[in-house]
Chains A and B, each alone.
Chain A
Amino acid sequence: MTMLLIRRFMLGATGAALALGGLSAPAYAQRDPAYEAARHAGVVGEKTDGYLGIAGAADASVRRMVEDINIKRRALYADKAQAAKATLEEYAITSGCLAIARTAPGEKYQAPDGAWQTRGAGAPLRDPRCP
């Protein structure tokens, strides 16, 4: 019983340490250079559903990176959606709207018809419901 309690305490302490570590890490981390390069090259693009997509010739490492980012995005959307009393899908779509609006010229994004577009100097083609 005591061992169990000690174990629980240790687990709790580890969790607290991890949480503190997360807080003390730079709050606004920047993109990984590989991710930045893939965006710039138009290999990956922003989809309307709020996730990253493969828009060009992507090798296995890029595909893995996209999957990894999308898993992280999904977890983040789920967390934030619950806090905002919205569904995961609603939150993801809203984020997709904004992520497309924030693409830099030359980067790829998905138009409402599903086709990949290259962001020009003007506003991107977006769903009429986007803010």
Chain B
Amino acid sequence: MTSMKMTNPRPPAKTYPMGEFRKWTGAMVMLGSLGSGGCVTVKAPDAPIVIELNINIKQEVIYRLSGDAGNTIDENKDIF
């Protein structure tokens, strides 16, 4: 009897030892806490935070519309 085989069979799944990874993570966390003196400090900014509400409006859009908007203001002087 002939057995059917795929041309490129997938190798069996490999497992990596967990120990190696854990060791490195631990070392990195240790290094990180050493670098900042063991505690995290959050400093408030000196300048007041200005919330830009219309940050999503691009300058090029404003430039494109400026001619049109200028005419609109000229033609509606009663409300501008």
Nearest Cβ in chain B — how far from A101, in angstroms?
10
* B9-17, B25-33, B38-46, B60-68: which lies at the interface: B60-68
* CB atoms of B73 and A102 under 8 A apart: yes
* A3-11, A14-22, A55-63, A91-99: which lies at the interface: A91-99
Contact A95 B73, CB 8 Å, known A86-B61, A90-B61, A131-B62: yes
* A113 to B65 alpha-carbon distance, docked (Å): 23
Taking a contact as CB atoms closer than 8 A, the residue among B69, B75, B78 that contacts A30 in the complex is: B78
* A93 to B66 alpha-carbon distance, docked (Å): 10
SS of B interface (majority): helix
* A22 to B62 alpha-carbon distance, docked (Å): 29
| Count of chain A residues near B, Cβ 8 A | 33
Nearest Cβ in chain B — how far from A76, in angstroms?
6
* A105 to B11 alpha-carbon distance, docked (Å): 81
* A95 to B61 alpha-carbon distance, docked (Å): 12
B57 contacts across to A, CB distance below 8 A = 89-90, 93, 129
* A39 to B54 alpha-carbon distance, docked (Å): 25
B19 sits at the interface (CB 8 A): no
Q: A76-B79, A94-B66, A131-B62 are in contact. List 19 more A-B contacts (CB 8 A).
A: A28-B74, A28-B75, A29-B76, A30-B77, A32-B78, A49-B54, A76-B72, A76-B76, A84-B68, A86-B65, A90-B61, A90-B65, A95-B80, A97-B62, A98-B73, A99-B73, A102-B80, A112-B50, A129-B58
